[in-house]
Structure 1
Amino acid sequence: MSKTRHLAVDIGASSGKSLLGTWDGEDLTVEETHRFANTSSFVDGHLRWDIDHLDAEIDTCQRKAGPVDTFGIDTWGVDFALLDSSDGLLGRPVHYRDHRTDGMLAELHQLIPAEKLYAATGIQEMQINTLVQLLALSRQEPDVLARARTFLTIPDYLHWRRTGVKACEFTNATTTQCYDPVAGSWSSELMSAVGVDASVFPAVAQPGSSPLAGFVLPACHDTGSAVAALDLEDGDYWISSGTWSIVGVNVPRPILSEAARLLNLTNEGGLHGTFRLGKNVMGLWILQEWLRHRPEPLSHLLDRVNKTQPFQGFVNVDSPDLLAPDDMPAVLQRMLPGLDGEAILRSVMESLAVKYRWVVAALAQASGIPCRRVRIIGGGCQNALLNQMTADCLGVPVVAGPVEATALGNLAVQIGRQDPGAVRHVQRAIARMTEPQVFEPHPDDRWDATYERLLQPV
């Protein structure tokens, strides 16, 4: 067959990139064509994304790539844009770390009992969720909601800017806590409860669909695209490791049991109608913020951390105090008094591995799927020390890579469309072109002791 060219634009919380993929029917070759920063700043009293900057950078991605057969964009989830009756943007999109949602989870539960909310959406309780953001907006800026005529998640907005197509892609729609995965539609009851007109939500489109020539919807949620890069085997769990660590396992249908709710697990859409049962962990955000305040090459820091005595302390990595602190090192020093910087960061990484173990155990309990291996993907898979800690703590092999799983999964869906066999064919090509690193577990009773003594389920 003749070669086809496909452009994947992958935007995370701190940066974005574009990969140009060339497919010959058997092998995939990729070339990074552009890389750019993603920034936020305080505007009109809220932390907001610079969406115009992203728009311009995507234009640069497309210009540098040249002619392509298809393109698609993936980003982080939960945040959104609102358009008025003239399709004007009603303010720059607000960042999920903005404090407008502080205290809103409790108010949401006064309107909708937690049990009912989980049964209707299957989404974990987090104050960053879209539904919580919409409740905050209805309380704090009702005039903005009154003027809204279209709701679009961030990748849907960026796609609309290029195609004129207003649609919410399935994997991202399911992250909003506004979508009913059993009914397969938006929940007008939930939206009404928080003061939102359900008519502003457009139709939901499946990943791999092509609403316009030259445009194929990837799995627009970045974790959905990352997992789409993997040719998974039975018993494979995965960790999409970046600013957040999302720990999960693929399941054929959403798991909405009371046990899953009490474990605060989330059901997010995957390819071909499947779901990703998972849970967010604070992830490498903690390390990123440490380095922002105390800049140095990450490799130098990790080399010193690796030489530091293990198991000196433990921290709840999902503590609200770590979500958006002004000074991460100061917060960690208060949480781990008496430890120097290297010991603090080693304790944080050990605590991450222990939290991964707890989440995997929770997922196995809810799904009935035993964990035989963990695939770590995304930028965080380059942290060899954390990979080894994860293997040691969980007692199973860890396979790290690919680093660019999100953009590669984006390409896999563009190429394979809605054909599961075709997508798997591309996934196997991705496996051939990358060289994952395997970390075998080294038994150490101290992991068990740390897990049993210190980890508190949250």
Structure 2
Amino acid sequence: MQQVLLAVDIGGSSGRVVAGKFDGQQVALEEVYRFENGGSAANDRMYWDMLRQWDHIITGLSAANEKYGASIVSLGLDTWGVDFGLLGKNDELISNPFHYRDPQLDGILEWGFERVSREEIFSQTGLQFMEINSLFQLLALQRRESPILDFAEHLLMIPDLFNWLLTGEKANEFTNATTTQLLNPKTGEWALGLMEKFGLPAGILGEIALPGTKLGKLRCSVAKEIGNSEIEVVLPGTHDTASAVMAVPSTQLLSNQPNWCYISSGTWSLMGVEVADPIINDRCLELNFTNEGGVGGSVRVLKNITGLWIVQQCRQAWSEAGQEYSWGELVDLAAASMPLQSFIDPDHGSFGNPESMPQ
């Protein structure tokens, strides 16, 4: 019986469950289930709808089990970075996780730099400065005196949260932890001193787990719901870009083969190189590059660039106005348009989360 490995891959605008099979020479991938994803606005806040996402994960796993059953041996799950959920007493999820485009993040970088300098933060974390980083999301909660932090006992990144729901095991996977701006890439450990300087509760950060760690079988309730109790959950690089870079067809790091880089495009486009050690110096700080963890202990030195976010939001706005476009139709319309009529900076703040992207 050929073994089947399942991947749950969730991005900012869509998620999917994919079945992978290896015949000894070639990997064959089949998309079993796909769903749309996005933020939900309520009471001037922007959230991720965790329960809806969870329902889609269960539906997708059930569909995969219906097709492959006992052939399924393992499951790995990845998502975007920076966003997290907080568990309180008795492992209760305190709130739906905030979306990285929540308006509470406006101006938070400057507020943070008044307390700890940009240079000191970068020296300890090596991360590109963006308001969306987990550190600044925590500071935004602190700035508006949210009671959430008072009750928090565990911080789990989004894929860690789903893995906990799947298995009951709490683990902070390495590659996603490096997107928080709370981890020191030189040591591979949490920058607890930085947390303390900001007055943030360092105790909410758990033990770092590396890709390849086996979390165990599905919870009994989950196994019963999808109809399979033998699937083992294994940590991939739970940051989707880390797993994408792992799939780049190169067997050497940049230091040994200095003629390749990668571009991974989705809601965000990420362009960079894979190296053995973090690059943390004044030039990297000046250019606002980032050092994120890779699978196998590598470091991904890269730049986060706005990707398909603008067209995703335009498509959503047009849909709400009664004009539906498929992605194929948008590609055809773009191809038929006169090129180079205008130039925009997609990273400009006005495109962050406007009321109407087309306008």
Quick one: which of 285, 299, 307 aligns to 1:261? 285
Which of 243, 258, 275 is the matching residue for 2:267? 243
Report what 1:291 is aligned to: 315
Once residues 204 and 329 of structure 2 are traced to their aligned partners in structure 1, the CA distance between those partners, rounded to angstroms, is: 50
1:259 aligns to what SS in structure 2? helix
> How big is the shift at 1:300?
4.0
- Tell whether the 8 Å contact from 1:4 to 1:24 is kept in structure 2 after alignment: no
Aligned position for 1:136: 140
Q: Deviations over 1:72-129 (max 9, x none)?
A: 1100110000000110011100000010010110011111111111111111010011
The answer to whether residue 235 in structure 2 is matched with residue 217 in structure 1 is yes
> Partner residue of 2:350?
321
Letter matched to residue 251 of structure 1: V
Aligned-residue CA RMSD (Å): 1.7
CA gap of 1:309–1:15, structure 2 versus 1, over 3 A, is closer
What is the percent sequence identity of the aligned residues?
A: 41
CA deviation map 1:40-95 (0-9, x unaligned): 22234411111011112211222222242110110011000000011001110000
Alpha-carbon offset, residue 237 of structure 1: 1.2
Paired residue secondary structure (2:91) = coil
Within the candidate set 98, 105, 109, 1:94 is matched to 98
**2: CA distance between counterparts of 1:195 and 1:56?**
36
CA deviation profile, 1:270-298 (whole Å, cap 9, x unmatched): 01110111111111111222222334344
1:119 corresponds to which of 123, 140, 146 = 123
Is the contact made by 2:105 and 2:137 (CA closer than 8 Å) also made in structure 1?
yes
AA of the residue aligned to 2:9: D
Q: More strand by proportion, 1 or 2? A: 2
Residue 111 and residue 29 in structure 1: after superposition, are their counterparts in 2 closer, same or farther (change >3 A)? same
Offset, 1:307:
4.5
Matched letter for residue 6 of structure 1: L
Partner of 2:156: 152
| DSSP 3-state at the match of 1:158 | helix
Aligned to 1:452: none
Whether contact under 8 Å (1:135, 1:195) holds in the other structure is: no
Q: Supply the AA of the counterpart residue of 1:324.
A: N
Deviations 1:101-159 (A, max 9, x none): 10110011111111111111111010011000000111224421011001000000000
Structure 2 residue runs of 5 or longer lacking an equivalent are 218-231, 319-323
Report how far residue 302 of structure 1 moved.
Answer: 3.6
Q: 1:274 aligns to what? A: 298
For 1:105 and 1:282, how far apart are their aligned partners in 2?
19
Q: Offset at 1:9?
A: 0.2
Q: Contact conserved, 1:138 with 1:194, CA < 8 A, in 2?
A: no
> 1:33, CA displacement in angstroms?
1.4
Matched, 1:69 2:73: yes
Query: How far is the alpha carbon of 1:167 from its aligned partner?
Result: 0.8
Residues 178 and 185 of structure 2 are in contact (CA less than 8 Å); yes or no, is this contact kept in structure 1?
Answer: yes
1:184 equivalent in structure 2: 188
1:3 paired with 2:2, answer yes
Cα distance change on mapping 1:301 and 1:152 into 2, 3 Å: closer
CA shift digits 1:237-259 (9 cap, x unpaired):
11111111111111111110110
| 1:199 matched residue in structure 2 | 203
Q: Once the 2 structures are TM-superposed, how far is the Cα of residue 308 of structure 1 from its aligned partner?
A: 4.1
Q: C-alpha separation between the residues in 1 aligned to 2:138 and 2:16? A: 29
1:311 is displaced (CA, Å) by 3.5
* Structure 2 counterpart SS, 1:195: coil
Q: Does 1:39 align with 2:68?
A: no
Point out 4+ residue stretches in structure 1 off by more than 4 angstroms.
Answer: none
Structure 2: how far apart are the matches of 1:197 and 1:206? Answer: 23
CA-to-aligned-CA distance 1:200-257 (integer Å, 9 cap, x gap): 1111111112132512101100111111222126322111111111111111111101
Secondary structure of 2:234 counterpart: coil
TM-superposed deviation, 1:304 = 4.3
Distance 2:327 2:38 in 1: 21
Q: 2:215 aligns to what SS in structure 1?
A: coil
CA contact (8 A) 1:185 1:204 kept: yes
Distance 1:299 1:86 in 2: 47
Q: Give the alignment of 1:422-441 within 5 angstroms.
A: none
Counterparts of 2:309 and 2:339, CA distance in 1:
21
Question: Match of 1:317, as an amino acid?
Answer: P
1:164 aligns with 2:168: yes
- 2:279 maps to a residue whose letter is I
Count of aligned residue pairs for this structure pair: 329
